[in-house]
Each structure stands twice: as C-alpha cells, then as structure tokens.
Amino acid sequence: METALKILVVDDESGILLMCQQLLELSSYEVLTATEAEQALAIAAEQKIDLLLTDIRLPAMDGFTLIQRIKAIQPEIAVVVMTGYNTVETAIKALRSGVDGLLIKPYELGSEFLDIIRQALENNRRKRDTVSLRALLPVFDLANTSLLDLTPAAAEKRVVQALQDALQAQHAGMYVRGSRRQAYRPIRVSGRLPEPGDDFWSLLEISGGNEPGAVQHVLFSRLQQADDRHVLERMNYACCLAASVQRQKESYLFLAAREQFDLEFQQSDILVFAQLAQQAAMLMENTRLFANLTQIARRIDSSTGLMQQSERMRQIESVVPAMLPDINNPVQSLKNSLVLAARPENQGSRAYSYLAMAQKELYRLEVALQRLLGMLQPPQAEPAHVEVESLIQQTVELLAARIKETGVQVKTSYGRPLLPVTAVRGQLEQVLLTLVENALDAMQSRAGEKLLWIDAACENGTLCISVEDSGPGIDAAARAQMFRPFFTTKPGGSGVGLAAAQRILRDHGGDLVLASSRHGGGAHLQVRLPC
C-alpha cells in the first residue's frame, strides 16, 4: 500500500484553508494546515512534507521567507505559492525562490488547482533526478582514466575542479583530518580559501561545516552578526557552501564560495554540492586504496622470496584480499544506482547517454579489479632475451602520468652496441620501476628544474643501467642501510623495494649498487647484469 503524499497548506484565510484541505483530501493527499508561518515551521521540523502550498502574504513573515526557511529544513520539498499579485516581478521572484508551481488569486478550486499540484510534484521529482545525475557526472568523468593510473594527487585536482565547474564557484577546496583531535589540513585548494587559522575556524563556525552530515549554506546578505559579516568581507565572499563527510578513518571537509552578490547558490546547487561531496570523499578513499594496493602488489611480485621469510609480508598477503570488497562494494552500489536512474522516459536524452557511458566505464573498473587480483598471484616465468632499450622505454611510459605530475624531465642515452640480456622480463621491469619511482619521490618536493637520467651500455660483458636524479641525494647514515629489508626514509614506505630489487638482480647473476653522482649530488644507482 502506497503512503499518501503529505501536503502542508499555509494561509491566514480560514475559508481558503478549509477548501484547499477538503479538495486535496478528496484526491487522497494527506493534508496539514497552518495559519501562521511559525506554526508551519514547527510542523516542517517534525514531519516529512512532500509539498508546501503557501500564500505569499502572511502575518509576521512573508511567504518567500517561509519557503526559504522550510527548504533549509527539507531541501527536496516541492513548493506551490498562492498570490493575489499578478505581476511579472512576483512571478520572477517566485521562480528564483525555487517554486514548482504558481497560483494567481482568484482561482477556482477544481481540476485546474489539482493539475497544478500534480504538475508541481512531478516537476520536483524530475528536478531531483536531474540534480542527482548532474552531481554524479563529474565523478563519472574520472572513470575515463583507470583508477590504477590515477594518483591521489591527480584525483584531488579533479575533485576540486569538479566542484568549481559544477557550482560555478571561484573558490573551492578540500580538507582532511584523521580524527576529531586532529586539525583539518588542506589537501587541495583552488582560488582563495583560508588556511586553518582564525578565519578558517570562524568560517566553519558560521557555516556549521565542522559537523558531519549536513550541507551548510552561508549568505552574506542574511548574516545578522557584524563579526560574521566581517569574516566574509575579509574573503570577499557573497556566499559559501560547507560540507563535512565522515569516512571510516578520515573526515573530509569541502568548501565552495562565490564572489558575485547577484549569483547566490540556489537549492539545486546545494543538492549538487551534497551529493558531489559524498562521491568525492568515496573517490578519494578508493583512489588511495588503489594506490596502496598497486604498490603492495608490485612488492609482492618482485619479492616472493622475502615474503616467504617475513611474517610482515605474510600479513600483507592476507590483508590485501580483505581490502578489495571495500572497493568492489561501492562499485556495485554505483552500478545499481545507474540501473535505477536509467528509466525508460530518459531514453534518447543527453542524460541517458551519460548513463550509458558511466556503465561502460564501471565495467572497465571491474576489469581493473580483476587484473589487480591476478597481480596478487604472480605466475612463474622462465628467463628469456630482453631488449634493454625497449624495457627502459616501457618503464618510462608506465610512469608517464606520475612523471608529468612531478614535473620531471627524463633524459635517456644508450651505448652501442646495446646487447640483450637473459632475464625474467617482469622482474627486471619491477627493478626499473622501483628505481624510477624512488627517484620521482626524491624530487617530488624539490624546487627548480627536475631531471632524471637513465643510461644503458654494455662494457666488458656487463650491462650497466644507470638511474640518477637531481634530488637531495642519500646521506651517509642511509647509504649503510639502504639495501636492508624494511629500512626506509619515506613516510609510509615499506622498505622492501631496493632490497627486493637487489635480490632479483643477484638471482640473475648481477647486482644493484650505489654509485657516485655525476650531475651534482643526486642519488645514482646502477643495475649490473651479464650481457
């Protein structure tokens, strides 16, 4: 049995109130009535309302103010206004207030009245559907790049750009904290948003953005307290949106602001922002999880022997499969949402084509997950001839996105003749990936020109592949331990990369050594193999 739609009728004329109530109840609507705005607000605070039918002229509070306050409580409510002011200005103001229907007094309480009510409910439903799709589309665009190739930094940039594009906001940013005892820290900001400090905390206090769950909308024009207005004045904001989303271990804070006083955020913007914040938080969590899983899989692929000897590696081996459902479940949830949204009435529309594209990209994501599962069980391989130049080029191509993001210029050179080596190609590729990734990490925060030199040459029966960066180099204390398993100087590093790489090369009859810098102090490592 379907639940009757609930309508709240607000009018200070008891006769009109009674007639509206009777006609709506005859049409199987559940009707609540109020003669004053404060009474209507109290009802909206306690009950879920599907449609608000209100007069514009009310005692103590006009209808437009009532609409605004009720929408702050129930953002998705449909609204029909009744007015005796048959003017263009009134109609325009009503539309800007986000109404779904307009009744001009005097009107007949009959089929026309009911048609407007039904049409308003339908318009509101379509509006909510459109908003939902609009909020998801910026996130779906990210699926064009495999999550395995999307770094957390690139995902952060895409999220903030999506906030700006979807909301036409000059300023947008994302903050994160690991626990309530920790302070928020910015992870990506575009435009002019405050660093955590006095203005930052003042803005959160005004907006209520420090509380997980709800989206808060701050309008300069409606701030009464002088101190509150001064906070927005210092930042030159006309309006601001704030949303805090709590994930399992982290809390994400999203901010978006506009400067134009004639372009305030509308209710549709608030709904978009709310859904986009939820999707963005989930995306950030999954991107970091993918990055961690990829790194772990590479270490597993290159250090099977070490894993068999190390309890720590056995723990990683058992944890990784358990983490995969945390990625797969949101993927399945998105798939289900798309199926529900792809209703027959949307066929042939632009929105329907976006849905089809999103479904296709989600399929790609599922394939990527299966590939990742396969990486956890590396196949046995026999040594074969490996073309060194091709191997180096492939390694650089695999890390092209990371190289571009870091701003590094790669310079390669090859001695002639460059003979092939006999090796397990996948293991040798993993060695080079480890060396290049370490070099990129070393130059990540460096200012000025960033250079990476990769040279290969055969001399006296030995292949030498040199990987040298323009980073800070390796200090004396680290040099003595850099090839020991689980030793690392990187925050969050596993410390198995160089140890595993050296082990692989020694199993091939070669070695991995630290050489003297040739270009001014950066790290210089050499792969040596018989050729």
* pLDDT mean over 348-354: 60
Residue 251 in this model has a pLDDT that exceeds 50: yes
What six digits make up the tokens of 262?
Answer: 């004639």
* pLDDT mean over 59-73: 85
Residue 111 in this model has a pLDDT that exceeds 50: yes
Q: Which of the four pLDDT bands, split at 50, 70 and 90, describes residue 261?
A: low
Domain 384-530 has CATH 3.30.565.10: yes
Residue 417 in this model has a pLDDT that exceeds 90: no
Q: What is the DSSP letter of 196?
A: T
Residue 360: predicted pLDDT? 58
Residue 22 in this model has a pLDDT that exceeds 50: yes
Contact (CB, 8 A) for 498 and 478: no
> Of the spans 203-207, 361-365, 491-495, which averages the highest pLDDT?
203-207
> Of the spans 156-160, 335-339, 341-345, which averages the highest pLDDT?
156-160
Residue 366: predicted pLDDT? 58
H/E element, 253? strand 251-258
**Cα 58 to Cα 35: distance, rounded to the nearest angstrom:** 8
Residue 173 in this model has a pLDDT that exceeds 50: yes
Higher pLDDT, 126 or 11: 11
Residue 316 in this model has a pLDDT that exceeds 50: no
141 closest CA partner among 428, 362, 297, 468: 362
* pLDDT mean over 22-28: 91
* pLDDT mean over 482-498: 70
Residue 465: predicted pLDDT? 94
260 closest CA partner among 228, 219, 226: 219
Q: Which of the four pLDDT bands, split at 50, 70 and 90, describes residue 88?
A: low
> Of the spans 191-200, 324-333, 360-369, 449-458, which averages the highest pLDDT?
449-458
CATH superfamily of 145-302: GAF domain (3.30.450.40)
Higher pLDDT, 323 or 508: 508
Contact (CB, 8 A) for 60 and 37: yes
Give domain limits for the chain.
Answer: 6-126, 145-302, 384-530
Q: Which of the four pLDDT bands, split at 50, 70 and 90, describes residue 518?
A: confident
Residue 143: predicted pLDDT? 46
Q: pLDDT tens digits for 55-64? A: 888 888 888 8
User: Could you give the percent of the chain with pLDDT greater than 70?
Assistant: 64
Architecture of domain 6-126: 3-Layer(aba) Sandwich (3.40)
Residue 228 in this model has a pLDDT that exceeds 90: no
> Of the spans 196-210, 304-318, 437-451, which averages the highest pLDDT?
437-451
Residue 103 in this model has a pLDDT that exceeds 90: no
Q: Please state whether the predicted TM-score (pTM) of the whole model is above 0.75.
A: no
Residue 307 in this model has a pLDDT that exceeds 50: no
Q: What is the mean pLDDT of the chain?
A: 76
Residues 6+ apart with CB under 8 A from 62: 56
Residue 379 in this model has a pLDDT that exceeds 70: no
Residue 311 in this model has a pLDDT that exceeds 50: no
Residues 6+ apart with CB under 8 A from 240: 203, 207, 217, 218, 232, 255, 256, 257, 258
* pLDDT mean over 92-117: 75
Q: Which of the four pLDDT bands, split at 50, 70 and 90, describes residue 207?
A: low
* pLDDT mean over 261-270: 72
